[in-house]
């Protein structure tokens, strides 16, 4: 595929992802408006829509028997919830996200917490209702996203990240954080798109399970630097400050 055709298709997938977000998520004015306003504020904050685009592209590569929009939107809901919670004072305590105030700064901490909470069940509602005509597909999609968003992957990676330097900055630990917080969601994006595309189990495994690990695990070797112990005056709550102080941002891809 030449560069111009690739760019054209990529832009088309982004437009589809953006349209699906507007169509499938509650309006900012829906009651309770403050909650839904916070959800839409974060969902519409921009970014490259990497996860929904990967999902849509993966589905299109096969012979989709259903619309991948619900799966793509569900992925973005989970990703956005994770960003909202990641920015909270009890975690990274970030004032900005994608160049504008983070959700808890634009609204308040409690509203941001609830907005993230609400985006999680919304993701699974989209899968359950969007693929109700194909129960086997709906079950497979729900299972894939639930495992990816759970304690051994996304939340597990965030937990390890929140430990800062206390657990030791080993290659194994940094890899667990990267694979859990970022690569697992990218892998799920390929897998869920392939499932909607009616791919074989072998194709799902080949296109999703190995892609994220093969493409992103090398970041550890290329970018990791020795982490010297921080002096006490440099210590502050939240992994962001600790890792950034050493030029080590394991979640750069997570912002996209």
Say what the pLDDT of residue 166 is. Answer: 59
Whole-number pLDDT of residue 167: 58
Determine contact, residues 193/54, Cβ cutoff 8 Å: yes
Q: Is 70 exceeded by the pLDDT of residue 100? A: yes
More confident call, 26 vs 204 = 26
CA–CA gap between residue 80 and residue 71 (Å, rounded): 14
Dig out the tokens for 17 from the structure: 């992802």
Residue bearing tokens 């939240």: 238
Q: Tell the CATH superfamily of the 3-255 domain.
A: Farnesyl Diphosphate Synthase (1.10.600.10)
Q: Residue 252: pLDDT above 90? A: no
Predicted confidence at residue 231, as pLDDT, reads 32
Comparing CA positions, the residue from 37, 56, 44, 50 lying closest to residue 18 is 44
More confident residue, 254 or 85: 85
Q: What confidence score (pLDDT) does residue 237 get?
A: 39
| pLDDT surpassing 60 at residue 177 | yes
Check whether 196 has a pLDDT greater than 70: yes
**In which band, very low, low, confident or very high, does the pLDDT at 213 lie, cut at 50, 70 and 90?**
low
pLDDT > 50? residue 101: yes
Residues 6+ apart with CB under 8 A from 31: none
**The pLDDT of residue 236 is above 60:** no
Q: How confident is the model at residue 225 (pLDDT cuts 50, 70, 90)?
A: very low
pLDDT of residue 222: 32
pLDDT of residue 165: 54
Global pTM reads 0.83
Residue count of the chain: 256
What is the per-residue pLDDT across 14-35, written as a single tens digit (0 to 9) for each?
Answer: 999 999 999 999 999 999 999 9
Phi, psi of 64 (to 5 degrees): -60, 130
pLDDT at 249: 42
Provide the pLDDT for residue 170.
77
State yes or no: pLDDT of 173 exceeds 80. yes
229-233 long-range Cβ contacts below 8 angstroms, 24+ apart:
229/165, 230/165
């Amino acid at each position: 595929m030449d560069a111009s055709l690739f760019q054209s298709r990529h832009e088309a997938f982004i437009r589809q992802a953006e349209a699906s977000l507007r169509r499938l998520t509650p309006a900012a004015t829906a009651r309770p408006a403050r909650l839904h306003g916070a959800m839409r504020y974060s969902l519409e904050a921009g970014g490259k829509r990497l996860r929904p685009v990967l999902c849509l592209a993966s589905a299109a590569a096969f012979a989709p028997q259903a619309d991948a929009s619900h799966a793509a939107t569900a992925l973005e809901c989970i990703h956005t919830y994770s960003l909202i919670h990641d920015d909270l004072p009890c975690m990274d305590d970030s004032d900005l996200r994608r160049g504008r105030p983070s959700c808890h700064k634009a609204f308040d901490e409690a509203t941001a917490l609830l907005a993230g909470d609400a985006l999680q069940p919304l993701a699974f509602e989209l899968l359950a209702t969007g693929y109700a005509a194909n129960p086997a597909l709906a079950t497979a999609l729900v299972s894939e996203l639930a495992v990816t968003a759970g304690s051994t992957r996304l939340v597990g990676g965030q937990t390890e990240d929140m430990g800062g330097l206390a657990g030791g900055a080993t290659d194994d630990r940094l890899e667990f954080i990267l694979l859990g917080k970022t690569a697992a969601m990218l892998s799920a994006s390929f897998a869920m798109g392939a499932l909607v595309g009616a791919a074989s189990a072998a194709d799902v495994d080949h296109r999703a399970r190995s892609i994220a690990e093969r493409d992103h695990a090398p970041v550890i070797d290329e970018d990791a630097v020795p982490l010297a112990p921080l002096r006490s005056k440099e210590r502050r709550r939240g992994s962001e400050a600790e890792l950034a102080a050493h030029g080590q941002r394991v979640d750069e891809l997570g912002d996209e």
